[in-house]
Structure 1
Amino acid sequence: MNKVHFIGIGGTGISAIARLLLERGVQVSGTDLQPSPYFEAVTRLGAFTRLGHHPDLALEADIVVRSSAVKDDDPEVQAANNAAIPVLKRSEFLPQLTAGSKTLAIAGSHGKTTTTAMLVHLLRSANLDPSFILGADIKGLHTNAHSGKDQFFAIEADEYDYMFLGLNPTVSMVTNIEYDHPDFFPTPQDYTNAFVDFLGKTEENGVILLCGDDSGIQKMLKNNDFPGKQVCKYGFEQGNDFQIVEHETSHGIQLFSIKLPEGEKVGPFTLHQPGTFNVSNAAAALAVAHLVGIDLGELTGAFSTFESTSRRFELVCGNEKIEVFNDYGHHPSQLLQTIKGARQSYPAYKIWAVWEPHTISRTKRLQHEFATALDQADHAVILKLFGAREDDPSYSPCSIADEVSHNKCLYLPENEKAIVHILENLGEKDLVIVFSAGKGPEFSHELCSALHLEASID
């Protein structure tokens, strides 16, 4: 494998693979239909990139890797097929990428990006140099991928398009199972079955680590077992092999300890990220580290320097009266838990939930759940829907605003009007969370500009 061509190289997952191969000395080319920060990043690192369709680049490669959004009739796919050049999806390419590594795969409906980043942080704090791929840049490292020198490969295992079925992990971890991606998984059972298949691909005598507190995982375990694998659970509840104990919050900082399967208690650990869900994520990362032989007693101070990842409750701008955050939340449970975590850390602030709906199928299928989540904020604004891979000009999420109580939610698809509404209704202390898996950062920067505040991130 001397040269790999990527179709859709500007996407988060595809660009991460490209970046890792560049570090390994592989020649990389790639195309995308529009520029993006990840497209520009891999270009700076040495990938030969072009915007638009360029079948000639595919014909120069040994292997072509395409994103999930690329269809069979794509000109580059057709050119490679006609020339008998292998065209692979991410799931089909992952075995080559992870060969020879001890793969630590982090899956789940929510929290997998943060948990993967936490695991990478712990491994590096233990003076290891793991390879890794995840769905957002790790702050401080300024990258979402790296080819390390040690045997461990920490990877965010995405269920969409069955990406995670290309892995044979040493440790397979699932944070939670809650129905998502209705455009790909027709029913909740189809969705759960994908996770069962993923866990079944854990290598013989490998370890399966599950959040024992999660109802979706509890339901899955009633109907499935995994012979030949060690199954462990983590969480707050008694009966978990790795139990979170002595959890408390003080001045926005969370403290907790972990009771290990051997009975020993380790901690306290200090976490600056808000929300009990982040304590659960941290416990998951600690459990994986323990399972691969790392002494957690040496890592009690590790999370005090963890800065999280981009677009996960990420401060954009602020002063003594208002703070504006970006968050990648695009599922009702993510919105709900982040709002709760924000209230915990900012009890004196009014919470604004500014939500950009992501994909029509998800928004339609879960509209009542979205309304319930938005109802937990003091004010809510629904922005123009980001269709991503879907298109239906006739659909509008305006009915969701009507379901939110006390007329505190408005559907304002024009950014200018949404910003004016926020500015006209600010109180003494306001915290604005822009939830988006699409163009939300553009909105948050426009809002900061209107507030005459300098954004702290690009």
Structure 2
Amino acid sequence: MNGEKAGKPHIHLIGIGGAGLSAIATVLYQWGYTVSGSDMQSSMMTDLLARLGIKVFIGHRAQNLRPEVDAVVVSSAIPADNPEWQEALRRGIPVFKRAEWLGKMMAGKTGIALAGTHGKTTTTALTAYLLQEAGQSPSYIIGGYVPQLKTNAAAGQGDAFVIEADEYDHTFLGFRPNIAAVTTIEWDHPDIFPSPQALQADFEQFVAQVPPDGLVIGCGDDPVVRRVIRHARCRTVTYGLEAENDWQATGLRLNEDGGYNFTVLCRDETYRPALAGVEFGLAVPGRHNVRNALAGLIIAVERGIAPAQAADIIRRFQGVGRRFELKGEMHGVIVIDDYAHHPTEIRATLAAARDRFGDRPLWVVFQPHTFSRTAALLDEFAAAFAAADHVIVVDIFPSREVDEGRVHSRDIVTRMDHPDARYIGSLAEAASDLLERMTPPAVLLTLGAGDGYKVGEMVLKYLVSSEVMGPENEP
């Protein structure tokens, strides 16, 4: 399957508003396929797809599956009893999981797959941006909206297909990329992987699927990644901040954008002369993003982009939606939203906030994501907020799960050794509490993969109509 395919088969996507399927829908539409889909609720992504010309149904119903549909693609979050899925089976229409379909889409392209428990979305976005700005016109599928690209996916004219390789539901095992990168490996998705060893086994299989003439790139600062990439059947390269890596970022220093400037050392004599004297800089904050930039840089030079040109493009990269995204600033309060929903991501995001904002009081609203993850990592969550001055934990966002009463957001708070941590269930009540207690100057950081970002939006909306913050202004 690729952009050369004749005719216009009709593909229907169930869960089309999600990050994964909305990207697939965009590329298919640009390749000339007829595309439709459904989702439980409208969103920014369903609105963008509708503006492209894709028919989007809100709600799942058997009648959404039009007679002319040739194939159905289902999101990992869709249960098998979904009425559209059942209707497809009744009519004999082929049904594909996301992994199967993505594998078909990559056929005939130079696949570049970026995987990892943390950092894969930003690294995929940066890689796509690098190749796009260097004139290589890649196709790409990213698990988040990239403002500079004005989309999360595109069908390019070049040979490269850059794709975020998601481990959830074993999705990335459907790929056979020419280049694979692994940013980090840490236990997550306990509803899919019952143990850290089960997750690691999937990553081992993923890197083993890269052909012998391919390349596996791994963050050597992560000991688990170092072990996993030994299972590759091709050339491997490590990167990171530590000296034993093949590519090392060194001389890190904060810049005026709140990110880091750095230089790069390389053991490979092929690239060493071109890297000499090249200064790299990032507008996105955090030492973790220096590592992410290194992965993108290695892919860029492997694709023939000069390090100096790559450095200029990396310096212009502004990041991904919901990844340390500035939502607004009003009356001395800066509101940032981040997708961090794992303890390691929370610590990295808080460290980045301290880098950028120094000692400015840091208020955090955290919305745990899924009951299974919260239960499995309860103590780790409780220990993740040391860099915050004030913490509010709201109710768990269930996503695809059902509350069985095993765990509650209060359980995180009761385990925390923190001077100001509290549980406030609803998003609206959390916003009210912030407006009552938070005084400028302050940074409000909303964390989580659900809809907790709405707290920041509520606070900003109120501040826009308010001249002074304080208890008398509680909504």
TM class, shorter-length: over 0.9
Give the match for residue 45 of structure 2: 38
Report the secondary structure of 1:5's partner residue: strand
Give the match for residue 12 of structure 1: 19
What one-letter code is carried by the residue in structure 1 that aligns with 2:444? V
C-alpha separation in 2, matches of 1:393 and 1:71 = 18
C-alpha separation in 1, matches of 2:212 and 2:96 = 26
Deviation (angstroms), 1:427: 4.0
User: Structure 1 239/183 Cα, relative in aligned 2: closer, same or farther at 3 Å?
Assistant: same
**Superimposed CA distance per residue, residues 425-458 of structure 1 (whole angstroms, 9 cap, x where no aligned partner):** 324421111002111222211011222279xxxx
Does the Cα contact within 8 Å between 1:7 and 1:64 map onto a contact in 2? Answer: yes
Report the secondary structure of 1:106's partner residue: strand
Does the Cα contact within 8 Å between 1:317 and 1:453 map onto a contact in 2? Answer: no
Which residue, 229, 244, 253 being the options, matches 1:248? 253
Give the match for residue 301 of structure 2: 290
C-alpha separation in 1, matches of 2:338 and 2:208 = 32
Which has the larger displacement, 55-64 or 95-104?
A: 55-64
Which residue, 314, 334, 337 being the options, matches 2:348? 337
**Superimposed CA distance per residue, residues 125-154 of structure 1 (whole angstroms, 9 cap, x where no aligned partner):** 212211100111111222000000000111
Give the match for residue 283 of structure 2: 272
Give the match for residue 470 of structure 2: none
What one-letter code is carried by the residue in structure 2 that aligns with 1:426? M
Which residue, 305, 309, 317 being the options, matches 2:320? 309
**Superimposed CA distance per residue, residues 158-210 of structure 1 (whole angstroms, 9 cap, x where no aligned partner):** 00011111111110000000000001111111111111111111123100000
Q: Structure 2: which 5+ residue stretches go unaligned?
A: 1-7, 467-475
Give the match for residue 423 of structure 1: 435
Deviation (angstroms), 1:393: 5.9
What one-letter code is carried by the residue in structure 1 that aligns with 2:261? L
Give the match for residue 413 of structure 2: 401
Deviation (angstroms), 1:303: 2.1
Deviation (angstroms), 1:298: 2.2
Report the secondary structure of 1:323's partner residue: strand
C-alpha separation in 1, matches of 2:226 and 2:208 = 16
Which residue, 21, 25, 33 being the options, matches 1:26? 33
C-alpha separation in 2, matches of 1:112 and 1:172 = 11
**Superimposed CA distance per residue, residues 5-54 of structure 1 (whole angstroms, 9 cap, x where no aligned partner):** 11111111011100111111100011122222212221221112212233
C-alpha separation in 1, matches of 2:326 and 2:431 = 18
**Residue 350 (structure 1) aligned with residue 355 (structure 2):** no
**Residue 129 (structure 1) aligned with residue 132 (structure 2):** no
Does the Cα contact within 8 Å between 2:333 and 2:441 map onto a contact in 1? Answer: yes
C-alpha separation in 2, matches of 1:308 and 1:416 = 28
Deviation (angstroms), 1:225: 2.7
TM-score using structure 2 length: 0.91
C-alpha separation in 1, matches of 2:61 and 2:420 = 49
Give the match for residue 206 of structure 2: 198
C-alpha separation in 2, matches of 1:192 and 1:184 = 12
Which residue, 135, 142, 151 being the options, matches 1:143? 151
Which residue, 58, 66, 76 being the options, matches 2:84? 76
What one-letter code is carried by the residue in structure 2 that aligns with 1:53? H
Does the Cα contact within 8 Å between 1:318 and 1:453 map onto a contact in 2? Answer: no
TM-score using structure 1 length: 0.95
Percent of aligned pairs with the same amino acid: 37
Which residue, 85, 96, 100 being the options, matches 1:88? 96
C-alpha separation in 1, matches of 2:311 and 2:80 = 49
After superposition, residues 132-211 of structure 1 pair within 5 angstroms as 132-211=140-219
C-alpha separation in 1, matches of 2:35 and 2:440 = 52
Give the match for residue 398 of structure 2: 387
C-alpha separation in 1, matches of 2:227 and 2:53 = 47
Report the secondary structure of 1:120's partner residue: helix
Does the Cα contact within 8 Å between 1:16 and 1:133 map onto a contact in 2? Answer: yes
C-alpha separation in 2, matches of 1:416 and 1:54 = 32
Does the Cα contact within 8 Å between 1:6 and 1:65 map onto a contact in 2? Answer: yes
Give the match for residue 226 of structure 1: 232
**Superimposed CA distance per residue, residues 369-424 of structure 1 (whole angstroms, 9 cap, x where no aligned partner):** 11111232111010121000011163421021122224411010122332232223
C-alpha separation in 2, matches of 1:33 and 1:188 = 32
C-alpha separation in 2, matches of 1:406 and 1:300 = 41
Q: Structure 1: which 5+ residue stretches go unaligned?
A: none
**Superimposed CA distance per residue, residues 280-333 of structure 1 (whole angstroms, 9 cap, x where no aligned partner):** 111110011112222112222212221111010011111462201110111011
User: Structure 1 36/122 Cα, relative in aligned 2: closer, same or farther at 3 Å?
Assistant: same
What one-letter code is carried by the residue in structure 1 that aligns with 2:176? N
Does the Cα contact within 8 Å between 1:120 and 1:130 map onto a contact in 2? Answer: yes
**Superimposed CA distance per residue, residues 37-91 of structure 1 (whole angstroms, 9 cap, x where no aligned partner):** 2122212211122122333443431111001122222222222222222100011
C-alpha separation in 2, matches of 1:322 and 1:52 = 38
Which has the larger displacement, 56-65 or 338-347?
A: 56-65
C-alpha separation in 1, matches of 2:379 and 2:227 = 23
**Residue 3 (structure 1) aligned with residue 14 (structure 2):** no
C-alpha separation in 2, matches of 1:407 and 1:278 = 30
Which has the larger displacement, 361-370 or 265-274?
A: 265-274
C-alpha separation in 2, matches of 1:97 and 1:391 = 33
C-alpha separation in 2, matches of 1:385 and 1:254 = 34
Report the secondary structure of 2:173's partner residue: helix
Does the Cα contact within 8 Å between 1:125 and 1:299 map onto a contact in 2? Answer: no
C-alpha separation in 2, matches of 1:440 and 1:379 = 16
What one-letter code is carried by the residue in structure 2 that aligns with 1:396? H
